[in-house]
Amino acid sequence: MERMFYWRDAGMSLLHRTPENARRLDVAGLNEITVLIDRSETELTEVALNSWTPGQDGPPHAHDRKEQNFFVLSGHGTVRLGDTEHPARPGSYFYVPAGLVHQTITQGDAPLVYFLFNAFLDTDKEGHASFADHIEKVKAVRRRQADEQKSGLPADRKTSAHAPRGVQPDAEHVMERILLPRQAAARCEAIEWHLTAGSHLDLAADATKEQTLFVVEGTGTISIGAETADVGPHHTLLLPRSTAGRITANAGGLHFVSFGTVIATG
């Protein structure tokens, strides 16, 4: 069963998920999606692990109604964002604004795996009830786009005023590194954290956004009110709006990324 504990401050549950028993979705042999938190469970958020088949040029494609964030966990390759190319390696981060044609290209014999964070622009969520529903409806198109190496979209199309972003790994491991500032996107933001042994980060209650934490390395605990749970590599936690907490690093430190999905933009 999926691991989780509950916090009902706002009538919703804080979700705590690990990938071991999560649902896996095959996308026409191109990539495998491990669904960690589904769109059906949230206001505007969806997260997964995305593993791309080694040695292939993936499908050039775009999403008009969601922004995407990739944080690379393993493997090597290239991510194309519009007309720019960026090296992809462990620790690389990419922001894909809505409507931008993008592509994942793998290099070497190992899959290119990244944490995928989707922030939907509206509650219709692309018109698909779940991640599985979405994949079922688009996988034939993705196969064709990969085979033809064409998105089928105009090269100069643009549906977002925001610019794509590629950020490479941080060798210095500063405590806080802003990967995507709030003002640089329509509905999302991203911050990378390195907590030293025994240190903690207080998570402020925010009525405007859902917060997702993804643990890259290390172990620690998260506390929400009187509830406490252990966290480790590839654990994912979603805090609903207006939920406060504290995350504390164990002896080996804790490396995680915090993503925000802004619900109230006014």
pLDDT tens track for 58-111: 999 999 999 999 999 999 999 999 999 999 999 999 999 999 999 999 999 999
Q: What is the pLDDT of residue 13?
A: 58
Q: List Cα–Cα distances, 247 to 86, 123, 203, in angstroms.
A: 32, 29, 8
Say which DSSP state 57 is in: B
* H/E element, 218: strand 209-224
Fold assignment, 176-262: Jelly Rolls (2.60.120)
**Cα separation values, 158 from 81, 83, 119, 239, Å:** 12, 12, 18, 32
Question: pLDDT (tens digit, 9 = 90+) per residue, 213-251?
Answer: 999 999 999 998 888 889 999 999 999 999 999 999 999
| Residues 11, 17, 22, 28, CA torsion sign | positive
Residue 6: pLDDT over 60: no
**CATH number for the domain whose boundaries are 15-167:** 2.60.120.10
Q: Where are the domains of the chain?
A: 15-167, 176-262
